[in-house]
Structure 1
Amino acid sequence: MEFVLLLVALVFSLSIIFHKSISIIKNRPKHHLPPGPSGYPIIGCLLEMVRNKPTFRWMLDYMQSFNTEIACFRLGSVHVITISSPELALEFFNVQDSIFAARPGNMTGRLTSDGYLSAVLAPGGKQWKKMRRVIVSEVLTASVHEFLHGKRCEEADHLVRYVYNQSNTGVTVNVREAARLYCGGVIRKLVFGKRFFGAGTEAGGSGFEEREHMEAVWSILSYTYGFAIADYVPFLEVFDLDGHKKTLTNAIKNLRKYQDPEIDNRIEMWRNGVRNTNDDILDILINLKDSNNNPFLSAEEIKAQVIEMSIAVIDNPSNVAEWSMSEMIREPRILERAIKELDEIVGKKRVVQESDLPKLNYMQACVKEAIRLHPVAPFNLPHVSTEDTVVSGYFIPKGSHILLSRLGLGRNPRVWDEPLKFNPDRHITNGSSQVVLTDSQLKMWSFGVGRRGCPAILLGSTIMTLLLARLIHSFSWTPLSAMPLIQDSDLNPFLADPLIAHATPRLEPQVYQSLI
């Protein structure tokens, strides 16, 4: 590590000749930058970023120590602005959205999206507009959502069947594993029309292929915009000083090993006339045409977009389900209230269906509370300032990376009473109001706002709520006698240890028999 730090400092020192702003500083801004650590000449706080892992905790600890809801960390020549105030968030992502709607170009985003070919990770411009239009107008429409309803139901049924098989053998259930099994099955079924890349296990669990695929997904999620040195000093990418490039490249390779052959084979089936009916999202993407009736998307664009969809659908729902279950098992009053609502609306003679979800207001509140208190990522994906501007009296230079703290927003004591307490009732303002998972005031971050807001609100809300509802309604859950303390992991906002509990069927026996 000392060698890495020394090499970083040496390379930066040699790079001084490339920084014209060091010798002459012109047109100083009238406003100050947001508060932040002073850092060193040239390299800024890059050494602190390398030393203090995970970087997000170092940043949030600094903000807490200095009691500020906005801070500036200079990493190399890049100003990274972190925010934990809903008012400031609205100023950045609503009032001045036109200035901050772009993404920064960097190593991790480029590698993950195969050169910015997909919708979410593309910095902006024609390619982003093209892929965003495809996702919004062709893939995430209400009609496609309804068209794929049956596939989502198949995976929800498989989840219940999988947990039921484990409960019958007396085996404890790893809730994290079950939730990820469901989420992985859903996205594979929606995109490829299949649950598994391999044969799966006899009990219905993931086989080697799915486990390797899922490990690649989570590795990409953790490394995408994971504070790699090369993201802030691009010419250091060749050295891969922190190993981010190697790890990310290997994860992408493992993901593509399973996905790309499926895509190539499907394209060939359509080309040869073997397939002639749209059955899933992959078919939709392949059959989009331009004005000359030629394929609208290249194979490379389809593969990059499928990678993005694969990592986007899995993270939030599985994290919400595990954290919600952990909090509700710890607080039986909340669990009993959720079960009562489910029994009143659904009963015990069938499983929860998507059509029930709008009536499950308390269940929606539990999901929203888990998103608030236990977000899957510490920050949103970064935005970049396309011009110099001023926000709330602070100067924000062109090229600044803007990171909104999901943890800081959701746990802001100025905004939330008892912010560290899991309390779904805080989202039910009166007895008749319908709970929605979005928050236009940005007191918490769920699906975002503005031009970069997540277009998958309907799909994401459906998957998250149905997953939690199926687990709670179909089974009674008993924690292990030595259930670990519920706390964040040191490395990320996940539960430190997977939730493992005993599941006991609670519906009529014929319900489970119909799923076998």
Structure 2
Amino acid sequence: MPHVVLAKMAKRYGPIVYLKMGTCDMVVASSPGVAQAFLKTLDHNFSNRPPNAGATHIAYGAQDFVFADIGPRWNLLRKLSNLHMLGAQSYKDWGHVRATELGHVVRAIHELSQKGEPVVVPEIVVCAMANLIGQKSLSRRVFATHGLDSNDFKYMVVELMRLAGLFNVGDFIPSIAWLDLQGIEGKMKRLHDKFDALLSKMIDEHTLTAHEREGNPDFLDVVMANREVSSEFKLTMTNVKALLLNWFIAGTDTSAGTIEWALAEMIKNPRILKRAQEEMDRVVGKTRLLEESDLRNLPYLKSICKETFRLHPTVPLGIPRVSTSACEVNGYYIPKNTRLFVNVWAIGRDPNVWENPLEFDPDRFLIEKNAKIEPWGNDFELIPFGGGRRMCAGIRMGIAAVEYILGTLVHSFDWRLPGGVELDMNEAFGLVLQKAVPLSATVISRLETSAYKSWT
């Protein structure tokens, strides 16, 4: 568990630690001040990613948005994504899609509750997130129903995040990378082939229906139409597939993981669950489902989300960056080509920053000194999406999806563990922080029957 070990080292050696990893220089930031120095003050110097097996073998040789160096390709991908997928207006335009998809989730859970069957939270939420992204980017639900295909996709996403988070010797001693001593790169290549086949199928099917979307293009239509717009850089089909891979991977498991951790914490603390439901009953009532417009009036729900971001950050060590030139931070010399990791997990559990940091306490974000802290990348005490120009591009979608989906699940159903089952809160490390044991819970519908009728 690298994030845990590095947090212990920070307690002993301080918030900025230098390590020699194989032939590579590495620095770890473990406090808000040091994180701000790297991600804001020196953002220009730490805006690129170091080479690694994941970018090479999974992300099409860093031809995507997440791993590409700052330059014409990255600028074009960012521009298209912000205008047509992630920007404020674009996000507002597909609100009806989110409401419809969440209706499918409520229906599926309601049916399970009537049958007395447990809900495997990460599976059903990953399916919903994939469908949301599919509808925006491809004008179609990726999985018509929650079932075998969506479970296979969930396995592929989890395996990708696991492999990307492993310590790969070849990343730190490049001269022996070709040996693939741990077999990690071979597994990455095989997984890449599966994703490539899936993406190629999606694109082929999308091309056949292009005539149906005249005048109402989706994200892939826009990207394909703008492949040769830039005079500096022209997108290839590899770039297009790599970009779609980014959205489906980064947009599914990350949000699903946060929602799973939040529900687990509320099942562990029934008082918090009850208080959240009481707030929603006052604002929404029990005759209809929660709507996105209700979220602004649910401060306790928002505090639960922020507390989950703090205690269970999606990417505990962030995605690494690398210095393009030598610099100085807090009096320490940082050589060129030094890899930077920001231990977001350690910052969220630092007793010098947070009172009773190991306690899940949403009330901490309702008191005056913390009320203005937001996870948007400006308050370095809480940076689950990173900071600077390389912060998560999908931050708007990520925060809103967590609030909307979690709020709907909590408002619509009571959650509890099946009889005889104990709640396991252990972590399983990967690039994304997973629960070691997926949350499986029984649910009881708590709204009036009429509230579910439109979905049943």
Q: Which runs of 5+ in 1 are unaligned?
A: 1-53
Residue pair 1:216, 1:251 contacting (<8 A) in 2 also:
yes
Offset of residue 459 of structure 1: 1.2
String of CA shifts for 1:176-222, please: whole Å, max 9, x gaps: 2222222222222222222235x54xxxx222x22222221222222
Q: Does structure 2 retain, via aligned residues, the 8 Å contact 1:103–1:124?
A: no
* Residue in structure 1 matched with residue 321 of structure 2 by the alignment: 383
**Which residue of 2 is the match for residue 448 of structure 1?**
386
Matches within 5 A, 1:15-30: none
Q: Which moved more, 1:487-496 or 1:124-133?
A: 487-496
Does the alignment pair 1:102 with 2:53?
A: no
1:137 Cα deviation after fit? 3.0
Alpha carbons 1:118, 1:301 under 8 Å: kept: yes
1:170 paired to 2:111: no
**Aligned partner of residue 364 in structure 2, secondary structure:** helix
Q: 1:320-375: CA deviations, max 9, x gaps?
A: 11111111122122112111111111111111111111221111110110011011
Give the SS at the match of 1:306.
helix
What is the aligned counterpart of 2:330 among 392, 396, 402?
A: 392
Cα distance between partner residues in 2 of 1:70 and 1:240: 31
Amino acid at match of 2:404: L
The match for 1:206 is: 147
Q: What amino acid does structure 2 have at the position aligned with 1:255? A: F
C-alpha distance 258-390 of structure 1, shift in aligned 2 (>3 A): same
Q: Where does 1:278-317 land on structure 2 (aligned, <5 Å)?
A: 278-288=216-226, 290-291=228-229, 297-317=235-255
* Residues 366 and 424, structure 1, Cα contact 8 Å, conserved in 2: yes
**Distance (whole Å) between structure 1 residues aligned to residue 133 and residue 251 of structure 2:** 7
* One-letter amino acid of the counterpart of residue 21, structure 2: L
Of 495, 505, 509, 2:445 maps to 505
Which of 136, 141, 157 is 2:82 aligned to?
A: 136
Match of 1:237 in 2: 177
Percent sequence identity over matched residues? 28
The residue correspondences of 1:440-479 to structure 2 (distance < 5 A) are 440-479=378-417
Give the conservation status (yes or no) of the 8 Å contact 2:165–2:429.
no
Deviation at 1:460, TM superposition (A): 1.2
Residue 72 of structure 1 pairs with residue 18 of structure 2: yes
| 2:196 alignment partner in structure 1 | 256
Q: Shift in Å at residue 230 of structure 1?
A: 1.7
In structure 1, what residue type is equivalent to 2:125?
A
The aligned counterpart of 1:33 is none
Name the CA distance, whole Å, in 2 between partners of 1:326 and 1:501: 9
Contact kept, 8 Å, 1:225 with 1:381, in 2: the verdict is no
**Cα distance in 1 for residues equivalent to 2:254 and 2:230:** 39
- Aligned to 2:416, what secondary structure does the other structure show? strand
Question: Structure 1 residue 99: deviation in Å?
Answer: 0.9
- CA deviation profile, 1:106-153 (whole Å, cap 9, x unmatched): 221122321222112113222222222222233222222122222211
Is residue 289–residue 296 contact of structure 1 (8 Å, CA) maintained in 2?
A: yes
Aligned to 1:156: 102
Q: Which residue of 2 aligns with 1:44?
A: none
Q: Tell me the distance in 2 between the aligned counterparts of 1:481 and 1:70.
A: 46
* Normalised TM-score (structure 1): 0.82
The count of aligned residue pairs is 454
The one of 10, 16, 26 aligned to 1:63? 10
Q: Which runs of 5+ in 2 are unaligned?
A: none
The answer as to whether partners of 1:106 and 1:234 remain within 8 angstroms in 2 is no
Superimposed CA distance per residue, residues 68-109 of structure 1 (whole angstroms, 9 cap, x where no aligned partner): 222222112211111111000000011111111111122211
- Relative distance call for 1:63 and 1:258 in structure 2 (3 A) is same
Whether 1:514 aligns to 2:454 is: yes
Quote the RMSD (CA, aligned, Å).
2.4
- Opposite residue 122 of structure 1, the aligned amino acid is A
What is the rounded CA distance, in whole Å, between the counterparts of 1:268 and 1:421 in structure 2? Answer: 53
CA shift at 1:436, angstroms? Answer: 3.9
In structure 2, distance between residues paired with 1:380 and 1:87:
16
Give the TM-score taking structure 2 as reference length. 0.93
Pick one of 222, 225, 228 that aligns with 2:162: 222
Aligned to 1:113: 59
- Cα distance per residue 1:13-39 (max 9 Å; x no partner): xxxxxxxxxxxxxxxxxxxxxxxxxxx
Identify the residue that residue 261 of structure 2 maps to in structure 1: 323
The structure with the larger Rg is: 1
User: What is the one-letter code of the residue matched to 2:166?
Assistant: G
Q: Which amino acid aligns with 1:317?
A: S
Which digits, 9 at most, give the CA deviation of each residue in 1:248-291, with x for residues without a partner?
Answer: 12222222222212113323554xx5652434322222222645
Amino acid at match of 1:60: A
Which of 257, 275, 286 does residue 348 from structure 1 map onto?
286
Letter of the aligned partner of 1:219 in structure 2?
E
Deviation at 1:490, TM superposition (A): 4.9
Partner of 1:423: 361
Q: C-alpha separation between the residues in 1 aligned to 2:239 and 2:216?
A: 19
1:89 equivalent to 2:35? Answer yes
Whole-angstrom distance in 1 between the partners of 2:220 and 2:117: 37
Bigger Cα displacement from structure 2, 104-113 vs 336-345: 104-113
Aligned partners of 1:164, 1:431: CA distance in 2, in Å? 40
Match of 1:3 in 2: none
Residues 364 and 435, structure 1, Cα contact 8 Å, conserved in 2: no
CA drift of 1:225 comes to: 5.2
The answer to whether the Cα contact below 8 Å between 1:107 and 1:234 also exists between their aligned partners in 2 is no
Q: Contact 1:76/1:233 (CA < 8 Å) preserved in 2? A: yes
Match of 1:6 in 2: none
Q: What is the CA–CA distance in structure 2 between the aligned matches of 1:249 and 1:179, rounded to whole Å?
A: 27
AA paired with 1:115? G
- Distance change in 2, residues 1:147/1:510 (3 Å): same
The answer to whether the Cα contact below 8 Å between 2:364 and 2:370 also exists between their aligned partners in 1 is no
| Structure with more contact order per residue of length (Cα contacts < 8 Å, sep ≥ 6) | 2
